[in-house]
Amino acid sequence: MTDKEQNIKSNEERKSVKGILFRLCGYVFKHWYLFIPAVLLTLLANQLSLLGPKYSGQAIDAITLATGVDFDSVSGNVIKMLICYVLSAIMSYLLAVIMMYMSQKIVYTMRKQVFEKLTTLPIGYFDNHPTGDIISHISYDIDTINSTLSHDLVQVMTSLYTVLGSLIFMWNISKPMILIFVITVPAAILFTRYRSKKVKPLFKLRAKKLGELNGYAEEMLSGCRTIQAYERENEIGGRFDTRNEDAMDAYYNADYYGATLGPSVNFINNLSISLVMILGGILYMLSQSGAVKVGGMFFITLGGIAQFVQYSRKFAGPINEFANILHEFQSAFSAADRVFKILDENPEKEDIEGAVDLKLTKGCVEFSDVVFGYTPTKRILKGISMVADPGKTIAIVGPTGAGKTTIISLLMRFYDPDSGVITIDGDDASCFTRKSLRSAYTMVLQDTWLFYGTIYDNIAYGREGASEEEVILAAKAAKIHNFIESLPDGYNTVISDDGINISKGQKQLITIARAMISDSPMLILDEATSNVDSRTEIQIQEAMNELMRGRTCFIIAHRLSTIQNCDKIIVLQNGVITEFGTHDELMSKGGFYSTLYNSQFS
């Protein structure tokens, strides 16, 4: 069997309703100490609420006695009813609370598992899965599972019990009248099934259209300043309206057909009661006139009819809800499927057995004939060999897509090479634990990444346990200290999503300060200064030089001025090293590099 076939098979296994159910049950049973009381409470609460109509029927019969009202029996039954209802109310509240606790515990665990799983996944996963999708799994999908667990699960248990219970009670009251449900119940089930089949695609379309609308709104809002600068609000608004109309029409269509469901089900309920009245009326009439024997199968009292009507309402309710609940369960299953899919993703490969912590002695990194591609069909690096000497600076230049960033990913072991070896101080990099290897590098990336938190926290993030002094020192070295101090809240300024208080360049400087604080022997700069203008760049260059001193340093930069002084420059084109040497060597060679360099003076 090929890998692919195997994949499909395991997919199918996972997808099978049974498998998902089994796994979900695992979560539920983990909290058996909540679940078992919940089941017991469900049974009890339902039994009590089923007893209510029975006592009320008996009370009515006690009122209608030919001999006059039997007050003792009435008051007895009234008290019993009261007790049943009060207890039932208390129990159903307890039940709701217990189920909520249980489902919240499960949801908490699931979110935690998904989140922690995400942090173990290889980088490639995040390149292939849009952030929005992952977020919807961890929020909406888990919410869907939650509502099914906390609400629908109880409802199913309750329904089953109520249906069976009322059936038994009705059987005891009058067997012939049960025949009515032989007609109405299948009618209700067939109708709801037929309806939901018809309505389902409409709801799907509705979701799709709404998604499109949201996407359009999101995109246009991101350009609202530009739209204003060209005064295009009405034009863009008009285009939005077309999509808005589309989405709302889809919405209306789904509603239009969906609107029949509730009233129709209600009609079938009322129909049952009408039929009960016709049949019950006739039987009651016969019983009153003495045409049927007291205690016989066709005998019925007024209280009996009252009970029967009440039970038939109880009985029909869950059956009609059946289609809805089935639908809820289906969506919960597909949500669970998506969540489990994340949990089943292959994590980053384990460190090999016997992996040791990297203890850097020199800091010499060597690539020998490294081949790599993100997919097997498309090679990005086609046999890279190079040496980064200890304490020296190596620059990698080349056009976009040449594979510069990929080299960094391999250095950090976000990926491992398909063939060839990367060695550190002579040892194969895969022999070291990833954690120790990664902490040997400090990395400043093109995309500044800061989280919601204070500037202080963002800088201190660079190394666990960094002291306040170190943070300030790092900020000073990155030439951002003065700016931070000028903010009203200083280092405690919170960096929020769209803070206008901090420019892109300043954010970049903060990440540089973060890099300064982490005390690693090797340094990776990926266009680290591309958002900083030349003058600021000069200012931080000094600090950078300080940081780079004695460290093996990899620089990816598009700006030639930043790399002129590097010890070695490597020109990468289409995954192959085409030139290497110092600036002067490359200039005298007259290749790609020198053409590029000279073009700026033309």
Contact 122, 415 (CB under 8 A): yes
427-428 and 419-424 as β-strands: parallel, antiparallel, unpaired?
antiparallel
Residues 144-173, interacting with other proteins (CB under 8 A): 150
Q: How does DSSP assign 66-123, residue by residue?
A: TT---HHHHHHHHHHHHHHHHHHHHHHHHHHHHHHHHHHHHHHHHHHHHHHHHHHS-H
The only residue of 230, 344, 347, 546 in contact with other proteins, by rule CB under 8 A: 230
**Residue found by looking up tokens 């199918």 in the block:** 12
Measure the CA–CA gap between 519 and 322, rounded to whole angstroms: 62
Count CB atoms within 10 A of the CB of residue 229. Answer: 9
| Residue 260 binds other proteins, judged by CB under 8 A | yes
548 is a contact residue toward other proteins (CB under 8 A):
no
Using the structure block, give the residue that is written with the tokens 């993703």: 345
Q: How far apart are CA 594 and CA 153, in angstroms?
A: 71
Name which of residues 43 to 102 contact other proteins (CB under 8 A): 52, 56, 59-60, 62-64, 68-69, 71, 74-75, 77-78, 81-82, 85-86, 88-90, 92-93, 96-97, 100-101
Interface with other proteins by CB under 8 A: which range of 232-240, 353-361, 365-373, 423-431? 232-240
Nearer to other proteins, 319 or 443 (CB): 443
Scanning 16-24, 118-126, 159-167, 418-426 for contacts with other proteins by CB under 8 A, the matching segment is 118-126
Neighbouring C-alpha atoms within 13 Å toward the C-beta of 435: 5
Min dist CB 265 to other proteins, Å, is 9
For residue 375, CA distances in Å to 42, 103, 363 come to 54, 40, 31
| Closer residue to other proteins, CB minimum distance, 337 or 527 | 527
Q: Which is nearer to other proteins, 98 or 384 (CB)?
A: 98
User: Binding of other proteins at residue 423 (CB under 8 A)?
Assistant: no
C-beta of 284 vs 456, nearer to other proteins: 284
Task: Give the H or E element holding residue 467.
Answer: none
536 close to 508: Cβ distance less than 8 angstroms: no
CB 432 within 8 A of CB 592: no
User: Applying CB under 8 A, does 467 fall inside the site for other proteins?
Assistant: no
Our CB check for other proteins shows the closer of 41 and 548 to be 41
19 vs 581: CA distance, rounded Å: 59
CA distance 46 to 50: 6
543 part of the interface to other proteins, by CB under 8 A: no
For residues 575-594, which are near other proteins according to CB under 8 A? none
For the CB of residue 84, give the shortest distance to other proteins in the complex, in Å. 8
255 touching other proteins, by CB under 8 A: yes
**The only residue of 128, 234, 346, 375 in contact with other proteins, by rule CB under 8 A:** 234
Q: Is 415 in the site for other proteins (CB under 8 A)?
A: no
* Residues of span 170-199 touching other proteins by CB under 8 A: none
- Selected binder of other proteins within 14, 382, 558, 589 (CB under 8 A): 558
Complex with other proteins: residue 12 or 504, whichever CB lies closer: 504
Size of the site for other proteins (CB under 8 A): 161
Q: How far is the CB of 2 from other proteins (least distance, A)?
A: 31
Residue span binding other proteins (CB under 8 A) among the ranges 196-204, 297-305, 359-367, 386-394: 297-305
* Three-class secondary structure assignment of 245-295: HHHHHHHHHHHHHHCCHHHHHHHHHHHHHHHHHHHHHHHHHHHHHCCCCCC
Residues 312-371 that bind other proteins (CB under 8 A): 313
Contact segment (CB under 8 A) with other proteins among 27-35, 108-116, 197-205, 380-388 equals 108-116
DSSP per position, 211-228 = HHHHHHHHHHHHTHHHHH
Instruction: Identify which of residues 419 and 486 has a Cβ nearer to other proteins in the complex.
Output: 486
Kindly state whether residue 28 participates in binding other proteins, applying the rule CB under 8 A: no
Go through 452-479 and write b for each residue having 16 or more CB atoms within 10 A of its CB, e for each that does not.
Answer: eeebbbbbbbbbeebeeebbbbbbebbb
- Tell me which stretch binds other proteins (CB under 8 A): 6-14, 153-161, 198-206, 557-565: 557-565
Q: Which of 2, 3, 5, 231 lies at the binding interface for other proteins (CB under 8 A)?
A: 231
> Which residue reads 């490969």 in tokens?
349
Distance, CA of 381 to CA of 200 (rounded, Å):
48
What's the chain's length in residues? Answer: 602
The verdict on 385 binding other proteins (CB under 8 A) reads: no
The correct pick among 518, 578, 582, 594 for binding other proteins (CB under 8 A) is 518
Closest approach, Cβ 360 to other proteins, in A, equals 16
Does residue number 248 form part of the binding site for other proteins (CB under 8 A)?
yes
Beta carbons of 117 and 345 less than 8 angstroms apart: yes
Q: Tell me the closest approach of the beta carbon of residue 15 to other proteins, in angstroms.
A: 25
